[in-house]
Amino acid sequence: MILDVKNLKKVYTTRFGGHQVHALSNVTFSVDEGEFIAIMGESGSGKTTLLNIIAALDKPTSGEVFLDGNSLVGISEKQISAFRRDNLGFVFQDFNLLDNFSIKDNILLPLVLSGSTYEKMISSLNPVLAKLGISDIADKFPYEISGGQKQRAAIARAIITNPKLLLADEPTGALDSKATDSLLKLFRKINDDGQTVLMVTHSIKAAAHASRVLFLRDGSVYHQIYRGNSSNEELYQKISDTLTVLATGGGFNA
């Protein structure tokens, strides 16, 4: 078990006290090594809050998160960045590449931050570039390449440290359908190579590539679907049905 989330609760208090918003009321789930999890839910269901807490960017009001047996909640502010750098990879909807770095340097950024030597960096860089098919654009700058390429570069940056967990927040949100398809295949490929992936998404198509889909509603895990032996299309249908039920607001036994 690589990730274990227990009774997570997050309450936002508005600035002048008074109003409280329960972003997460009680979330419990766990992820095994090598899984590809998709988390779905409507806007405001707490997806992003959950992701931020798992990424140690935010602290829960109560509850625990264990990554590979280590508690994230108790970790000190000083260690948290190094921890994040070594154990987690991030992919975002809007790529979040830095304009002033070339693609190569963007990908190397986490390695440079953790202080490895240039030789080591290059030896981890080349396989990653090859895997993501972006060797030929390594020396370009973010403004010179397409959205799909940017997202590949972002994934390369996320996995170059061999993180225990790859977190993706709406990775296909800013891409056209063709780029989306190839990117999702890429996620599958990375996952097949043994990378554990946790993806937050709105897109049924994206979720249909996962090995398990969690549904969040009103701040807790409402339902989950295992792929089992289903094909992408079958999983797509199941997810779609579940979402319809969620949207109509009925109980799941309806």
Partner 1 sequence: MRSHMYFKLAATNIKKNAKMYIPYIITSIVTIMMFYIMIFLAYNPGLTGMKGSNSLGAVLTMGIYVIGIFSVVFLFYTNSFLLKRRKKEIGLYNILGMEKRHIAKMMTIENIYSYLINMILGLFFGILFSKLMLLLLIKILRAGTGFVFNISTQGLYITFIYFTVISVLILLNNIRQIHLSKPIELLRGGNVGEKEPKTKWIIAVIGILAMGTGYYMAITVDNALSALNSFFIAVILVIIGTYCLFTSGSIALLKILRKNRKYYYKTNHFTSVSGMIYRMKQNAVGLANICILSTMVLVMLSSTVCLYIGQDNVLNNRFPTNTQINTIFSNKEESESVSNTVKKIIQDSGYKIDAYNEFRFKSYTLEFNKEEKTFSPSSDIDLNIDMMHITYFFPIESYNKQTGSDITLNNNEVLIYSPDNIDVSDEFSIKDITFHVKNTIDNPGFSIQSSGSYMKLIYIFVNNEEIIKSVHDQFDDNYGDYCNLSHVIGFDIMENEEKQTELVSNIRNTLRNSEEYRNLTFQIYSTAEERFDFYALYGGLFFLGLFLGALFIMATVLIIYYKQISEGYEDKQRFYIMQQVGMSKAEVKKSIHSQVLTVFFLPLVTAIIHIVFAFKMITMMLEILNLTNVSLFVTCTIATVIIFAVFYTAVYSLTARTYYRIVE
77/233 with CB nearer partner 1: 77
E strands in the chain? 3-13, 20-31, 36-41, 62-67, 70-71, 88-91, 165-169, 197-200, 212-217, 220-226
Give the nearest distance from C-beta 157 to partner 1 in angstroms: 7
Is residue 102 within 8 Å of 180, Cβ to Cβ?
Answer: no
Name the one range near partner 1 by CB under 8 A: 43-51, 85-93, 179-187, 200-208: 85-93
Give the nearest distance from C-beta 59 to partner 1 in angstroms: 14
36/90 with CB nearer partner 1: 90
21/57 with CB nearer partner 1: 57
Give the nearest distance from C-beta 115 to partner 1 in angstroms: 6
Residue 137: name the closest of 124, 122, 150, 127 by CA: 150
E strands in 98-140? none
Name the one range near partner 1 by CB under 8 A: 20-28, 64-72, 76-84, 221-229: 76-84
117/177 with CB nearer partner 1: 117
d(CA 62, CA 66): 13
Q: Name which position in 24, 31, 40, 55 contacts partner 1 (CB under 8 A).
A: 55
Q: Name which position in 18, 69, 99, 248 contacts partner 1 (CB under 8 A).
A: 99
Give the nearest distance from C-beta 74 to partner 1 in angstroms: 17
Helices (H) and strands (E) in the chain, counts: 8, 10
Residue 16's Cα: distance from chain center in Å? 33
Contacting partner 1 within 104-163 (CB under 8 A): 105, 108-110, 112-115, 117-118, 121, 141, 143, 157
By DSSP bridging, strand 212-217 and strand 220-226 are antiparallel
Cross-strand bridge partners of residue 30: 4
d(CA 40, CA 145): 30
Which chain residues interact with partner 1 by CB under 8 A?
A: 55, 57, 77-78, 80-82, 84-85, 90, 92, 96-102, 105, 108-110, 112-115, 117-118, 121, 141, 143, 157
